[in-house]
Amino acid sequence: MLSKLRLLRPPVSPGSRILNAWENKNYSDKKNGRGKTTPPLIQDEFSTNPKSPTTTHSSESENNNGWQNDSKNNQSFRNWSLFGGAIILSGTVYGIYHFDIMKQKKDDNLITEENTNAKKIRKLVQIPSLSESIPDNIQYLLIGGGTASFSAFRAIKSADPTARVLVISAEGYLPHMRPPLSKELWYGDDTEMAKSLNFHQWNGTSRSLFYEPEPFYTPVEELTTAKNGGISLARGWKVESINVSKKKVKLNDGKEISYDKCLIATGSVPKTLKLYDDANEELKNKFSVFRSISDFEDLWEQLGHIKSIAIIGGGFLGSELAASLANKGKKNGVKIYQIFKEKGNMGKVLPKYLSHWTTEKVRNEGVEVVTETEVENCSLENNKRQVNLKLSNGKNISVDHVIMAVGAKPNTELATDAGLEIDSKLDGYLVNSELQARTDLYIAGDCACFYDKQLGRRRVEHHDHAVISGRLAGENMAGAAKPYQHQPMFWSDIGPSVGYEAIGIVDSSLATMGVFAKGNHKDPSLLANETDQNTLTNKKETNEELVSKNNESISENDYNKGVVFYLKNDVIVGIVLWNLFNRMSIARQVLKTNRCYKDLNEVAKLFNIHGDSS
Amino acid sequence: MSQVIKDGKDTIIFATKEDHQSPSKVILSPPEPSPGLIFPDGSINWNCPCLGGMATGPCGVEFRESFTCFHYSKEEPKGMECREKFTAMWTCMDQYPEVYTEGLKDDEEFLNKEEQAGETIKNKEANS
């Protein structure tokens, strides 16, 4: 009994980049802290004023304040056990617990499927089935059930322990994280695990895509009467309109709900191609977008019986998915094409040379990457089993399936009726730096166009931003009145050899300065003159490319690890940490200085690019 | 020696280890404060991600009451007066096995380890 008391050590970042922004610190990510001792939960409690490990520029370590080593953990354990306590800081710490999603889904009878021509039609089942069960008025109303909303309800409940929070989600699933859908879930050999939406994190532990299991949520019927309030979900329900002056929303069946505070966190919807919009149903069935769990499940299943897929789009999603599917489809001989109009993968994000380098990596994964090309037309062929894509480079490609990864559009359909302003340039609901659109109405996540006092007006479509903005909105809804200050980061993993994290404005149209670790391999002086100041022309780069073809290992070493600064008027506005982890807080500090540096190589030194990449 | 390559608006430096060995001349402002579970003033940060869903889940209030009592306890041994609050918390947690099971499971593992450790000590004693 005594040892029921459990102060579980939170994995430094197992939950990883996923939950990273939750705390006002960046202990991030998946690759961070690899091999480090994971700090336990409670520290300050037992060792007053613990000295955080301080190296001048230690990145994550200083942020791990509050963490101790194992022996200290046991110490805290003993202290707690004195009164026979059982604190089960369960796996909920970072949600490492596993629960049987499959069972849950079955229980929920959440989604029924029908087969029509090869393409699944999913019917959403509403929970609760009748809107009468949903309260008529609620203290906190959150529209949307994604990451921003999850982050908001945590913040609200933390600030206001007996808060009554109602989440109305058009999605049928419990709140979950999306990043692993195009990454981790495709790696690993355990099919059952992936099907149950569990995945391995960098540190070997596994976790569910879902933030919390179903019993975490208060049944919606009990929300008004529950002694300590709670967080309830109305799934499969959609808010049709908001009356901001009357502080009321209307559901798709006409039911009205009054709120004290409301959050719009409706995320974004995948864009489609015009040629798809114009196509007939039969042809449309060969196309899909990729965003939700259902999209993942459909694609997973399809991969079992199709032989070729074309991914259109060269951004984050397209590139991650191309590498992931190539890896997954290797055994079955599935051919993956990636087609996009940029010159290289992530061409809008990474400087040209790095984008090209990434494309080579994606090709090494077995993907046939077709650059600077658009799809001009498409038609069914081979007895309607395949799609023929007519490309702008004059070629034709026949594939069994096409995935459109051509970006997303913020879901702002509530704006017009509510009289909310949409940013004409960046799209998204216009909000102030407190994420407020109107009195008692807040916006967070993909669909918020907010004011960042350092980098100006922005809209960000990344997981970490959803976490940070959701939390901030939640805190402000509970009365905090804080501005947006903490810069979100984002990350991408493209196959096993490319992983990066970034912060700030990362746009390849900006001037950049990349500092890479020169390896101990064969002297690459072949590529450039060896002087500190010698600058070379583009011609040299061509030489370099030539050499890189002759000697892959040199080229690999060249951009293996490093840091890239993005500059606007010589001021650093964005930073990419290339295959370099555990350094995000340094990047955040550098960005914060908001100044012009004469010698960026000196700034690069802060990142210890020759050190252990994790 | 490090090398610099210019590619249009993009500049690339391949820096040698030696070049980067000397400390950077750039001095950064201190990092953003990042409170853990306990704020510098000694109060509890209920928003700490280290708590996972503990403070926000179905037994969040019971958890907070227990932990608050313990944290501010002046009794010897610490937390003696919090027994009731903890009992309330466990009672609550027992109602949500799916939410709190994993912690219990961990706990059992811990128990076993403790037992094993105990046995090892005994064995050692026996051997010596």
Confidence (pLDDT) at A97? 25
Residue count of chain A: 614
Rounded distance, CA A437 to CA A318, Å?
33
Q: Is residue A554's pLDDT more than 70?
A: no
DSSP reduced 3-state for B75: coil
User: Whole domain around residue B91: which residue ranges?
Assistant: 49-120
Q: Is residue A119's pLDDT more than 90?
A: no
Count CB atoms within 10 A of the CB of residue A265.
Answer: 30
Q: Which two tokens stand for residue A53?
A: 């490990």
Confidence (pLDDT) at A194? 86
To the nearest whole percent, how much of chain A has pLDDT over 90? 62
Name the residue among A331, A320, A294 with its Cα closest to residue A189. Answer: A331
A109/A214: higher pLDDT: A214
Q: Is residue A57's pLDDT more than 70?
A: no
Q: Work out the average pLDDT over B64-86.
A: 92
Angle separating helix axes B83-94 and B60-71, nearest 10 degrees: 160
Q: Is residue A58's pLDDT more than 90?
A: no
Cα A178 to Cα A138, A287, A486, A551, B8: the distances in Å are 28, 21, 22, 38, 36
- Say if the Cβ atoms of B82 and A99 lie within 8 Å: no
Q: Work out the average pLDDT over A407-427.
A: 95
- Say if the Cβ atoms of B1 and A532 lie within 8 Å: yes
User: Mean pLDDT over all residues of chain A?
Assistant: 79
> What is the sign, positive or negative, of the torsion defined by CA atoms of A444, A450, A455, A461?
positive
Confidence (pLDDT) at A596? 87
- pTM (global) more than 0.90: no
Confidence (pLDDT) at A192? 85
Rounded distance, CA A466 to CA A144, Å?
12
Q: Which of A158, A214, A535 sits opposite B46 (nearest CB)?
A: A158
Q: Give domain status of residue B32, yes or no.
A: no
Q: Give domain status of residue B15, yes or no.
A: no
Q: Is residue A348's pLDDT more than 60?
A: yes
Domain count of the fold of chain B: 1
Band of residue A18 on the pLDDT scale cut at 50, 70, 90: very low
A92/A311: higher pLDDT: A311
Q: Give domain status of residue B39, yes or no.
A: no
Check: CB of residue A165 under 8 Å from CB of residue A231: yes
Band of residue A606 on the pLDDT scale cut at 50, 70, 90: very high
Distance from CA of B124 to the nearest CA of A (A): 22
Name the residue among B101, B53, B91, B58 with its Cα closest to residue A219. Answer: B58
Band of residue A520 on the pLDDT scale cut at 50, 70, 90: low
Confidence (pLDDT) at B102? 57
Q: Give domain status of residue B90, yes or no.
A: yes
Q: Which of A44, A90, A585 sits opposite B102 (nearest CB)?
A: A90
Distance from CA of B83 to the nearest CA of A (A): 7
Sheet holding A401-404, edge to edge: A287-289, A401-404, A308-312, A335-339, A367-370
Band of residue A257 on the pLDDT scale cut at 50, 70, 90: very high
Specify the CATH number for the domain of residue B64. 1.10.287.2900
The pLDDT tens digits for A170-217 are 988 999 999 999 999 998 778 888 888 998 887 778 889 999 999 999
Q: Is residue A66's pLDDT more than 70?
A: no
Q: Give domain status of residue B23, yes or no.
A: no
Q: Which residues contact B94 (CB under 8 A, 6 or more apart)?
A: none
Written in H, E and C, the secondary structure of A510-569 is CEEEEEEECCCCCCHHHCCCCCCCCCCCHHHHHHHHHHHHHCHHHHHHHCCCEEEEEEEC
- Say if the Cβ atoms of B48 and A538 lie within 8 Å: no
The pLDDT tens digits for B9-33 are 999 999 999 889 888 988 887 777 7
Band of residue A496 on the pLDDT scale cut at 50, 70, 90: confident
Q: Which residues of A383-420 are buried (b: 16+ CB within 10 A; e: fewer)?
A: eeebbebebeeeeebebbbbbbbbbbebbbebbeebeb
Rounded distance, CA B85 to CA A580, Å?
46
Q: Which residues contact A23 (CB under 8 A, 6 or more apart)?
A: B34, B35, B47, B48, B49, B50
Q: Give domain status of residue B44, yes or no.
A: no
Q: Which of B37, B61, B65, B72 to mutate to test the interface with A (most CBs of A within 10 A)?
A: B37
Angle separating helix axes B97-127 and B83-94, nearest 10 degrees: 120
Q: Is residue B79's pLDDT more than 60?
A: yes
Q: Give domain status of residue B25, yes or no.
A: no
The pLDDT tens digits for A219-231 are 999 999 999 999 9
Q: Which of A61, A87, A177 to mutate to test the interface with B (most CBs of B within 10 A)?
A: A87
Residue A201 zone, left/alpha/beta (φ > 0; ψ -120 to 50; rest) = beta
Q: Give domain status of residue B78, yes or no.
A: yes
- Say if the Cβ atoms of A515 and B13 lie within 8 Å: yes
Q: Is residue B50's pLDDT more than 80?
A: yes
Q: Is residue A570's pLDDT more than 90?
A: yes
The pLDDT tens digits for A128-183 are 999 999 999 999 999 999 999 999 999 999 999 999 999 999 988 999 999 999 99
Q: Is residue B110's pLDDT more than 50?
A: no
Q: Work out the average pLDDT over A526-545.
A: 38
Rounded distance, CA A253 to CA A52, Å?
55
- Say if the Cβ atoms of B49 and A23 lie within 8 Å: yes
To the nearest whole percent, how much of chain A has pLDDT over 70? 74
Band of residue A121 on the pLDDT scale cut at 50, 70, 90: low
Q: Which strand (E) or helix (H) includes residue A81?
A: helix A70-81
A431/A10: higher pLDDT: A431
Q: Which of B7, B31, B61 sits opposite A162 (nearest CB)?
A: B61
A55 touches chain B (CB under 8 A): no
